C-alpha cells in the first residue's frame, strides 16, 4: 500500500469521498442505535449516511444523504461558544472550564464535585452556561445561533424543528437538574426555565451535512466568516478547535483524537462536525450511535478520511 497523499483538488477529494461511501456507507446502522431517549429522534433510519466537505472558498461536495436535514443537537454547542467568545472574549472561562470530562456528558456527580463549574463548554452543563451567557448578551440565544447558521451556510431554510424541541423539553429532566444545580451555585444569570428553553430549541436546529460543513468552515479559515469578516481572532479560533479536539466527543474524546486526529464535535442526532485547520470543514451524518453517544459510521468515515488523505493535526 502506498503512503497516503494529501487531497489538494476537487477530483482527488471526490474520489476520497466516493471511496468512503463505498467502504463505510454500507455498514451504517449495523452497529449502534439511534437516540431513542429523545422520542422525536427515534424514528430516523439508522442506515442513513452522508458526508460533506467544504474548502476554504466555500466549495462543497458530498456523498450519500448529504443534503438531507437532520437534528444537529450538540453540534450546535460549537456555534454558541464561538458567538459568546466573539462578543466578550475570555470572560466566559471564569464560569466554565476547558478540560475533558472523563464522565458522561450529563453527569450531575461531576458538576456537584466541582461546585457548579462545568468541566468544559461542550458537555451539557457547560453548554447551558454558554447558552445562559449568550441569552444575557443577545436577548435571544437560540435566534442568534440560528441566524448565524443561516448566514454561514447561505441557507435561509435552516430552522428549528419544533417537534424535536418539544420532545427534548418533555424528556429533559436531567438537563433541568444540571441547570438548577448550577443556579444553586450562582452560575446562571437567567431563570432556569428560560435557559432550558433556548438550549432545547438551539439543539433542535435541523441542517444538512452540506449546510453544517459550510457553517463550520470559519474554524478552518482561522476565525474568518463566509463574507470575509472576522468572527474570532486566529488565537480564539485555535482555542475553539482545541476544545473540540479534547472535549468534542464526550468521554470518548481520546479515542476520537486517536482514530481521527481532528477537532470534532458530535451530536446525538448522528452528526459530527470536524475541522482540518487551513484546509477543510467536514460533516458526517449517520444516526446509529455507540454507547458514548457518537455516530459509529461517522467516526469510521472520518477515520477513513484522515487515513486516505494524510490530513490531520498530528
Query: What's the whole-model pTM score?
Result: 0.95
pLDDT value of residue 7: 53
Q: Give tens-digit pLDDT for 53-81.
A: 999 999 999 999 999 999 999 999 999 99
pLDDT value of residue 1: 33
Helix (H) or strand (E) holding 82: helix 76-88
Residues contacting residue 57 through CB under 8 Å, at least 6 positions apart: none
Q: Give tens-digit pLDDT for 222-233.
A: 999 999 999 999
pLDDT value of residue 38: 84
CB atoms within 10 A of CB 151: 15
Residues of the chain with pLDDT > 90, as a percent, come to 89
Angle at 201 between CA 198 and CA 202, to 5 degrees: 80
- Residues serving a catalytic function are 74, 77, 199, 250, 268
Distance CA 224, CA 243 (A): 18
Q: Cβ(222)–Cβ(238) under 8 Å?
A: yes
pLDDT value of residue 110: 86
Positions of the chain with pLDDT under 50:
1-5
Amino acid at each position: 500500500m502506498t503512503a497516503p497523499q494529501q487531497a489538494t483538488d476537487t477530483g482527488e477529494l471526490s474520489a476520497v469521498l466516493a471511496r468512503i461511501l463505498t467502504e463505510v456507507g454500507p455498514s451504517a446502522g449495523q452497529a449502534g442505535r439511534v437516540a431513542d431517549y429523545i422520542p422525536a429522534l427515534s424514528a430516523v433510519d439508522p442506515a442513513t449516511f452522508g458526508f460533506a466537505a467544504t474548502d476554504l472558498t466555500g466549495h462543497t461536495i458530498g456523498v450519500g444523504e448529504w443534503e438531507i436535514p437532520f437534528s444537529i443537537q450538540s453540534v450546535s454547542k460549537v456555534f454558541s461558544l464561538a458567538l459568546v467568545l466573539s462578543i466578550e472574549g475570555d470572560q466566559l472561562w471564569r464560569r466554565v472550564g476547558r478540560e475533558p470530562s472523563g464522565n458522561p456528558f450529563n453527569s450531575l456527580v461531576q458538576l456537584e464535585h466541582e461546585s457548579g463549574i462545568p468541566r468544559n463548554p461542550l458537555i451539557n452543563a457547560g453548554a447551558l452556561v454558554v447558552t445562559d451567557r449568550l441569552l444575557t448578551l443577545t436577548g435571544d440565544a437560540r435566534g442568534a445561533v440560528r441566524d448565524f447558521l443561516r448566514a454561514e451556510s447561505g441557507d435561509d431554510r435552516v430552522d428549528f424543528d419544533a417537534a424535536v424541541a418539544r420532545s427534548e423539553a418533555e424528556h429533559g429532566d436531567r438537563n433541568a437538574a444540571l441547570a438548577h444545580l448550577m443556579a444553586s451555585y450562582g452560575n446562571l444569570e437567567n431563570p432556569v426555565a428560560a435557559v432550558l428553553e433556548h438550549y432545547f430549541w438551539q439543539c433542535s436546529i435541523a441542517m444538512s451535512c452540506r449546510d453544517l460543513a459550510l457553517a463550520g468552515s470559519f474554524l478552518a479559515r482561522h476565525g474568518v466568516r463566509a463574507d470575509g469578516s472576522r468572527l474570532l481572532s486566529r488565537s480564539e479560533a485555535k482555542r475553539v478547535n482545541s476544545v473540540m479536539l479534547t472535549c468534542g466527543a464526550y468521554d470518548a474524546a481520546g479515542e476520537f483524537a486517536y482514530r481521527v486526529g481532528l477537532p470534532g464535535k458530535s451530536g446525538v442526532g448522528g452528526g459530527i462536525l470536524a475541522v482540518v485547520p487551513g484546509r477543510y470543514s467536514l460533516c458526517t451524518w449517520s444516526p446509529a450511535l455507540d454507547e458514548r453517544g457518537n455516530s459509529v459510521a461517522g467516526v469510521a468515515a472520518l477515520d477513513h478520511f484522515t487515513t486516505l488523505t494524510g490530513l490531520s493535526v498530528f
